[in-house]
Every structure is written in structure tokens, then in C-alpha cells.
Amino acid sequence: MPDILDVLTQADQGFDISLRKLLEVIAIPSISSDPEGAPGIAEAADWLQRELTTMGLEARICPTPGHPLILAHSRPEDSDAGPHLLFYGHYDVQPVGEAEAWTKPPFAPEVIDDGDTQRFYGRGASDSKSQFWSFIEALRAWKTARARFPCRITVLLEGEEESGSESLPAFIETHRAELACDVAFICDSDMWSPDVPAITTQLKGLQHEKVTIHGPNPDLHSGYFGAVAVNPIRVLAGIIAGMHDADGRVAIPGFYDGVPDIPPALRRVWAGLAEAAHVLESTDLTGGVIEAGYAPLEAIWGRPTLDLNGISAGNLGPGERSVLPGSATARLSFRLVGGQEPQRIRALFRAFVTARLPQGCRAEFEGSEGSPAVVTPLDNPFMQAMSQALNEEWQQETIMKGSGGSIPLVQLFQDRLGVPCIVLGFILSTDAIHAPDEHYDVRRLQKGIRSWVRLLEKVCGLAPGAR
Amino acid sequence: MPDILDVLTQADQGFDISLRKLLEVIAIPSISSDPEGAPGIAEAADWLQRELTTMGLEARICPTPGHPLILAHSRPEDSDAGPHLLFYGHYDVQPVGEAEAWTKPPFAPEVIDDGDTQRFYGRGASDSKSQFWSFIEALRAWKTARARFPCRITVLLEGEEESGSESLPAFIETHRAELACDVAFICDSDMWSPDVPAITTQLKGLQHEKVTIHGPNPDLHSGYFGAVAVNPIRVLAGIIAGMHDADGRVAIPGFYDGVPDIPPALRRVWAGLAEAAHVLESTDLTGGVIEAGYAPLEAIWGRPTLDLNGISAGNLGPGERSVLPGSATARLSFRLVGGQEPQRIRALFRAFVTARLPQGCRAEFEGSEGSPAVVTPLDNPFMQAMSQALNEEWQQETIMKGSGGSIPLVQLFQDRLGVPCIVLGFILSTDAIHAPDEHYDVRRLQKGIRSWVRLLEKVCGLAPGAR
């Protein structure tokens, strides 16, 4: 085993600067789904292009019909031989959501000592700025310590992950030659627990839908018309109430077509993991209706869901307004498994809603293209290298896990680039991702960087074209 | 019949100025239920106090724990003998609501020729600034034409009607002597149709409630937790869906206790009116579930309702956010009839919700004090005078009608001041009150002023103390 103490030492010595720079980029409000986020997106893209250039990559901002990607390559003359590695991350973040629910500012991170742990708070702190920052800083440490990169490197940072990655498929299609590589590392997943690393080998598909029920009238006075005119809130509530049955199953006809049983062997593995599942310990599941016949971990990793993400109609406050609203809107998402095809699920959903509309009402739908579920191959040298690197850094056996989350580009990379994807990351389900007071901690950032250094060391000796 | 052509002519000659001034006060955003409305409330109160003073009343702004009332009296030396009349209106307005749904600015009214009709648009245009303005301008015309008021006059303008009139009961209690009068005219109700005047003789009670369902967790990532943790949107939708049965009846146990049958004689009168009911023609009732066994007008005027006014949770957009919200909120109101007691209804509602909560969830409630239903006496000379004045101005028989709306202060005035209330007004259910593009028209304003002039002429000859 070649000694990489020099690179690890370099990473540790440079860590204070690494952390300071990360806080700088977390402070940039790069919200992709809100039109008002555009200046933050542009500022973050500029900042990242400068950083990647400074550390020795050839980096450029690639415009798209949506938000730009940042694409960076190591120069051949700076790169040792070996396989070509692609590292993917996303620099856009979720909206702040309910601002009053944050106890820390969402875009002014500083390190706060919470007793045992040094944390920093901010939208994007865990999802996903600390994630891509960990491989960037590992690459920088290697380049600084050894004056060259360990092999050919491509870094791809996306700006639309939180808003549906709409520009990514076309970008990959038109840049297939430039993105050619031997493996893609997707750093956007979570650890098993604060001390146990994990690689995510199966992810759910995702289909967003927004439905607005329109009554035949505009807003009306609820006193005058409440007794006689249709109330879209009641219609929508009735439809939502019928979307699940008493056993927690989705009640849309045909929804489970193409959903495979969880293989008994996998059920046994997951049963063994369940006891130590941090995700289950950290969250109060009281009141939740888990699909009958499945353990919590099985439901999260292996069963499709319909999740209500938002609802709005009429008077949102403050104060009272005696209105009978003209329309009511729900936002929801499907998490898909197996062969569930997003467009088919969308059609089933829309038919389900439409069939339940009272006369005089109509439903208006909006939905993203959606992505199917994905399983990554386990039998390749990069997967072994990653697993070993994590084992060594964390001194714990890496867990091969499923996820309730979705990373649509995994399927895209595997299909269009024809390379294995390795999905991992160092966030935790307790980091309040997509929620108020999102945060990350200093220790995981440092050990994340060191994990990538170890990975580089293990793969740079592999032959080009190894799969 | 004494000739009042001089006063009517004065009102018509001054009408352009009347209209211009009305548009001035509609332009002031006096929203009472929104804390940000306070400056608009203060500006409107100042403006009105100046106007009432200019026209010869002794007017002052009366602070309350909430928003101020404006109280104005004619000076005894300026007032002819006869009964003491109190005129009530409210100068506060509803919130704008969904700003994008307005096609005209809510606080920049101008007269627009819509073909047949000259209209002006704005929040408060119909509810209720044009309403109180009609009696103010009638009083001004009388004073201008005859240099004196026709009898003793009190004007009371409230600033909290749209936010629950919370300060009014205590104000009336502490100002009983000063508010002593022979009759109260409440100008906050509607006409039967654009050409047929109406007096509203029964109004519904009103009880607002806001309920928030809290799950045991804050916002969560819906991918990670959607399959296992409780979703407050689903809980709330299920509870709402259960609030009505298939026959359109409110399904809260005990809700109909104390609700009287509509007397057969009244049903016959209402059946005769139904055919010409403008409120029913103007609105598309398709899809609405009217309580089984009742005609639309009976349901609106005579049956209690539970109306969903608003709902909100999780992602309100724009854009997608894969969140499992920590809580979900509904705003609703009860319209009460007969002996339904608001506090009892509130308790029944809260028990209904609480009984349906999954383990681990809790409900947080907020509610106003509420008001019971009210019926005004028909057998007094003021009611006859009002009816005749309206008949003469509109050349149509005045309709004695019910209402689906609520004016809590009617009960308050009748109980605490011990005087009959006469509830009328010139708005229409098609004026988009409480809705986007609220509006009123020039003809109704002018004929409204003239109606009050005729009323003044009919009552000023009555003896003081006439009831």
C-alpha cells in the first residue's frame, strides 16, 4: 500500500481554510426552484469556477436553458495515468421554506459549538455544498502535496438538482465525449450513522405533481355562498383522504403494477440492519401509517409512496377572511421502485383525481418528467475501492444500503455514459435537509475529505478502462 | 308629505364631489386583520374624522385596544327635534388576498365605464366604504340644503369589523350613555337585485376557528420519511373530509342541537322569492352539495354551515420542495342559526378534531369569541319608514330578506342599547366582496344617498322615543 500520509496531512493542515471557504459558498443563496434565486445561482457558479481554476483544473461555466453547470477537467499534462474519474455534486439548494421556523440564519453560516459537536447551519450546508466540497478539497490536497492529480479528473457541478435537473439530460447527451470516464462518483447520499459510512446501491424514482382544483366561480363570500356553492378545499381534502387506504397502501388503481416483491435475501439483510438504523431512531414515527406487511426500513427503501408535500387555498392568514376560495392546490410526489414508470404513474394519478371531481369542477395539473428507480452494480473495482477507503477512514464496515430518496441522474449516467455510478456521501438524515436549521458538522467534513483522499489512492493504480 | 326636492337636488349636484371623496378613502388600505394594515387604518381614521368635522358634526377618534372607532354627533343647536338616529358603518376592509387574481389595483380606484355601468374597483369599494359613505353624504346634503340636521344624529364608524369587532362590546358598554338613541341603522347589507332594495331581518351567527395539526417532528425530507412518519396534510385532509356527510350535513355530533325548523310560513315566503333571487342566478352552484331537504335560499338564510376558508401546509411554491411538513393548518368558520351558541359549537368542533388525531399528533386551536344568529323586530315605525323610503327611491317593493352573512354587532346593539336595528345596504352579492376585483357602481352610490335622504325626511317627523 503506497503511503498517502503526505496527502492526508496536507488535507488536515489546509482544513481551516477548507472550512472557511465552504462557509463562504454556503452563504450564497443559490436557490434553483425560485425565480428570485437566479442572482444567487450566478454568484455561486462564478465562485466555484474561480475555486476550481485556482486549484489547477480547467473549469468553465456551461449555460443551459435553466441554470448553468460547472464543468472542470484536469489537464492531461498534470494528470497521472490511470482511470478517468468523474465527480458529481450540485451547488443549488432548496428554498428556505418557513423562514420563521429557522433559529439560525439560512445564509450566514458560522461554526457553533453544540457541546460534543461543532456544527454550521444554513440552507445547503448538508444538501449538498459540504458534499461536493469534500471531494474538491481532497483533489486540492492531492494536487498541493504532489503537484499533480492522481489520474484524469472531471468535476461536474449541477445547478438544478433541487428543481428537477431539467437541463441535465440534454447536456449529457451533447457532452457525451467530454464526459467520457470510467466511473462516476455521486456525492449526494447519506451515512448509515454518525460513525458508520455507507454506499447507497438503490434509489427510488421520483415524480412530482401539482394539482389545482378549480370550482366554477372565483373567490366568493363564504357566508353568502358557503351553503350552496362547491368548496374546492372540501373537494381536494376528499380526494386526498381517498389516496391511501386504511392499510397505508396507495389507493390509486394500478399504482402497484410492476412493483416487485422485496427479495427474501434482501429482506434478511435489511432486517439485520434495522436495529441500528439511525434514520429510525432519530425520528418519531408515532402516528405514521406504514404499509401493512412491511417493516419501516423495507417501506423506506423498498416500497413506493405518494407523499403530500404542500397544500394551499383561500385564506393563508394572518387574520380571518370569510372566503370560499375559487380553487385549491396540492403538491405531491411519488417515490417509485422497480419498474414503475413515472409517466404511467402520472397518468394514473390524473385519472384518479379527474374521476373524483364533482360536476362543474376541473383539475389543472403540472408535473415534472420524473425518473424511475435505479439499482447500481456492486461488482466493479471502483465499488470495492470506495468501500475499502471508507472502511479505513471510519474504521467501521461500510453499509451497502437503499434509500428513500431519489437521485435521478444516477440512471442518466449509467444509461447515457455507460459507466457505473457510486453513490455515497456524508450527510445524515438528522441534518434537517430540506427543513429549517439544515446543518452539517466539522468532523464529518474533515473525515469526508480524508475518505476521498484514500479513494484516490486506491483507484489511481487501476488500469484505464477498468470497470 | 313635506317636499324634499331641495335636499335631493343638493345631493345630486354635489354627487361628483361625493364620488371623488369616496375614491380617496377607498385608496387608503385600511386592512384590519393584518398587522401591516395599521398605518392604513390610522390614515383612514384621520381622513374620516376630518370629513365628519367639515360637514358639521362633532367628530373624534376613539382609541381602543385594537383599532380606533370614529364617533360623531350633531350639535343640539344644529339639530331639529325628533328621534335620535344612530348610523353605523365600518371603515376597515378585508385583506387583498391573492394579489395576482386582481385585474384592477386594489387601492387605486377610478371610475371605469363597463358599457352599461360605471364601476369603481378596490378592496372596500363595496364592503363597506360606499355603504357608510351613502348615509354620510345624505346627512351632508341635508345640512347643506337646510343649514341644520333633520334631528339628532350619531355616526359610529368601526375599524375592526373585518377582524372580529373585538373592541366593540367593551366600547358600547362604556359609552352606553353617549350612544343612547332611538334606532340604529346598520348599513352593511345587500340589495335583493340591482333594482330591488332589501332590508335584512335575520342574520347568521359567526364563529371563526383556526386549527393546526402538529406531527411529532419538524419538517422532514419526504423521501426519507414519507413511507413511515405521519403526514399532517393527510391527517388534516382526512378530518376535513369527515366534517360533512354525503347529504351535505355537518357531521360534528351535536352541531344541529338548538337549530329550529324553518317555519312553514317563512318557507312559503322564501319559495316565492327564490325565483327572482339574484344571488342564485349570479353564481354557478354546480358541484355544490346543498343540505338535503332544503332549497338553496333556505340553506343560505336558514341553515347553519361549516365553511372551509383556507388551508396551508408544507411547500406553497413556487417550485418543488420534497418536504414532509411538520404541521398543517386549516381556517374555517361556522355560520350559525337559531339557538346555536358559538362557544358550544367551538367546543364540539375541537372535540371532533381531537378525537380524530392519530397518536403522536396534537391540534392547536385559535378562535374568536363568535356571535349568535339574530332576528330584528319588524313592528316599529323606523322599519316602516325605511321600507317606504326605499320603495320610493327604487320604485320597487322592498324585500324583507334573510342573509347568509353575519353582522355580530346587530345583536350587540339590540341587547346593550335596547334599540331596534335596521339592517340594509346597497351592495350586491356580485360585487366580489371579500374577493379579487371587489367593486361597486356609481348608480347605486347615488341612489343609496338619495334613499337615505328620503329616510331622513320620513323619520324626522316622528316623536323622540318612538320605537
Q: Out of B215, B288, B357, whose CB is closest to A229?
A: B288
CATH fold of B205-256+304-367, please?
Alpha-Beta Plaits (3.30.70)
Contacts of A117 (CB under 8 A, 6+ apart): A441, A442, A443
Interface check B100 vs A, CB under 8 A: no
Q: Out of B222, B237, B313, whose CB is closest to A241?
A: B237
Residues of chain B in contact with residue A166, where contact means CB-CB under 8 angstroms, are none
Residue with cell 439499482: A375
Task: Tell me if residue A70 falls in helix, strand or coil.
Answer: strand
Residues of chain B in contact with residue A224, where contact means CB-CB under 8 angstroms, are 279, 300, 403-405, 429
* Cross-chain residue pair B223–A335, CB shorter than 8 Å: yes
CATH fold of A205-259+304-367, please?
Alpha-Beta Plaits (3.30.70)
Residues of chain B in contact with residue A279, where contact means CB-CB under 8 angstroms, are 224-225
Report the pLDDT value the prediction gives residue B466, as an integer from 0 to 100: 65
pTM above 0.80, yes or no: yes
Q: List, for chain B, all residue ranges whose pLDDT scores fall below the cut of 50.
A: 1
Report the pLDDT value the prediction gives residue A29, as an integer from 0 to 100: 97
Residues of chain B in contact with residue A300, where contact means CB-CB under 8 angstroms, are 224-225, 227-228
pLDDT in tens, B295-325: 999 999 999 999 999 999 999 988 788 899 9
Give residues 10 to 69 of A whose Cβ lies within 8 Å of B: 32-35
Query: Which class for A156: exposed (0-12), middle (13-18), buried (19 or more C-beta within 10 A)?
Result: buried
Do residues B131 and B427 make contact, with C-beta atoms less than 8 angstroms apart? yes
Q: Does the structure show a pLDDT above 70 at A344? A: yes
Cβ neighbours around A458 below 10 Å, total: 21
Cβ neighbours around A357 below 10 Å, total: 16
Closest residue on chain B to A210 (Cα):
B320
Closest residue on chain A to B31 (Cα):
A319
At A1, is the pLDDT very low, low, confident or very high (cuts 50, 70, 90)? very low
Find the helix or strand (DSSP H, E) in which B400 lies: strand B399-402
* Of the candidates A294, A284, A378, the residue with the CA atom closest to the CA atom of residue A337: A294
* Cross-chain residue pair B226–A307, CB shorter than 8 Å: yes
Report the pLDDT value the prediction gives residue B115, as an integer from 0 to 100: 84
Q: Out of B32, B314, B320, whose CB is closest to A163?
A: B320
Sequence ranges of the domains in chain B: 5-203+374-459, 205-256+304-367
Report the pLDDT value the prediction gives residue A466, as an integer from 0 to 100: 65
* Cross-chain residue pair A404–B224, CB shorter than 8 Å: yes
Interface check A288 vs B, CB under 8 A: yes
Q: Out of B228, B238, B317, whose CB is closest to A310?
A: B317
- Angstrom CA distances, B406 to B138, B162, B333, B371, B372, stand at 26, 11, 11, 8, 9
Phi then psi for residue A251, to 5 deg, are: -95, 15
Interface check B98 vs A, CB under 8 A: yes
* Of the candidates A351, A312, A332, the residue with the CA atom closest to the CA atom of residue A207: A332
User: Strand A183-187 vs strand A421-424: parallel, antiparallel, or unpaired?
Assistant: parallel
Q: Does the structure show a pLDDT above 70 at A408? A: yes
Interface check A217 vs B, CB under 8 A: yes
Closest residue on chain A to B233 (Cα):
A308
Residues of chain A in contact with residue B226, where contact means CB-CB under 8 angstroms, are 305, 307, 333, 335, 404
pLDDT in tens, A35-89: 889 999 999 999 999 999 999 999 999 999 999 999 999 999 999 999 999 999 9
Mean pLDDT of chain A: 94
At A418, is the pLDDT very low, low, confident or very high (cuts 50, 70, 90)? very high
Q: Pick A5-203+374-459's CATH classification: 3.40.630.10, 3.40.50.720, 3.40.710.10, 1.20.120.420.
A: 3.40.630.10
* Cross-chain residue pair A222–B279, CB shorter than 8 Å: no
Report the pLDDT value the prediction gives residue B1, as an integer from 0 to 100: 44
